[in-house]
Amino acid sequence: MDAAGEGRPILFSRPDLDDDDADAVLRVLRSGWLTTGQECAALEAELQSYLGVGHVVAMSSCTAALETAIAALGLAPGARVGVPTWTFVSTALAVVRHGAVPVLLDVDAETLNLSPVALAASIERLDAVVAVHFGGVAVSKEIHQLCAAAGIPLVEDAAHALGATDHRGRVGGHGTAGACFSFYATKNLTCAEGGALATDDADLASFARSYRLHGLSADSWSRHRDEDSDEYDLVVPGIKANLPDLLAALARSQLRRLDEMQARRRRIVGRYRTVLGDSPDLTVVPAEAAVGGADHLMVVVLPEGRDRRAVASAMAADGIGTSVHFRPLHRFEWFTRHAAVVGPTGTSTADRLAPRVLSLPLHPGLTDGDVDRVCRSLRAALDA
């Protein structure tokens, strides 16, 4: 690595943007139509082809997609929905907002995905499950099998998993109650804010297209073009969650080189694994490089008893950004007081790992030298 790079800050996350991305946004600005229209429809078609799925409905966020998928289930008030405790709060809040109760389940130590053991012990008392593909690693086939055998719907929180594959092919809602993706600023494909619901279920797709626009039977683009623009109705009380063309154009541009960006992420993760491989007191998540993983996060588990804040502060002093994914949901006071119960197997794995996980920088702009510098800083912080 050249000496000039030693003092340069290494951001935890940075979007990979190029001139084509900028041109796509400018094209929409100059068109005069900024909200949901042709660009959004084109993005949906392109994602549908990329994922190999029957339907894609673009939305304002993954959170909105999750809320829509949960709403489509028509759960009764008080219904119990299994949710991994190791996730961002939005996963469980999508359940809460529809009057259901999140049942917080433990995770697998090697992947931090929903534990099949925890799910199996709880499933007889669940009405639905939301599974998170943590860090872009798809949940195990056993999760799908357990839900299918119990006859309960499985919603996929695929915020980290665009481009990931599993036993079904590309993660895309095949055989489930929908897969929900995120295009947030830190994601592998970004348009700043945005998301999508992917499904093979035509009825779910139709519901989502209405639900994302207050529950109306026609969107503004359709009403703008249709001579009978006043002939639309309110189908169901929905939410405002459509994706504007301005953002859809950026997402389309990003999608054209997503595989290239994913391949770069895989090489960076490989470099991390090689350099950290001689650190017996560190564990990488997942324990083995996941075949078909989307490589969204580079998570390490620090040695037991180490002060994570001190490690992160030391690395920050070296100009290196870090983060934490995640604080388990059962450690949030609001959930413990108002809206959740813990599954019968408890949360021992999550509790053991919660103070020790640290997310290292991972984005396509990193060089091998950057990775080496991050690892040196981490090693020095641990040795201090």
Question: Could you list the active site residues?
Answer: 187
**What are the C-alpha distances in Å from 21 to residues 191, 252, 307?**
9, 9, 41
- Cis peptide, bond prior to residue 102, ω within 30 of zero: no
The CA angle 15-59-167, to the nearest 5 degrees, is 80
DSSP 248: H
Core vs surface per residue 316-335: b (16+ CB within 10 A) or e: eebebbbbebbbbbbebeeb
Tokens, residue 242: 């459509």
Phi/psi-derived region of residue 169, left when phi > 0, alpha when psi is between -120 and 50, beta in every other case:
left
Residue 247: exposed, middle, or buried by beta-carbon count in 10 A (0-12, 13-18, 19+)? Answer: buried
Q: How far is CA 364 from the centre of its chain?
A: 18
CA separation for the pair 24, 251 (Å, rounded): 9
296 burial type by CB count under 10 A (0-12 exposed, 13-18 middle, 19+ buried): buried
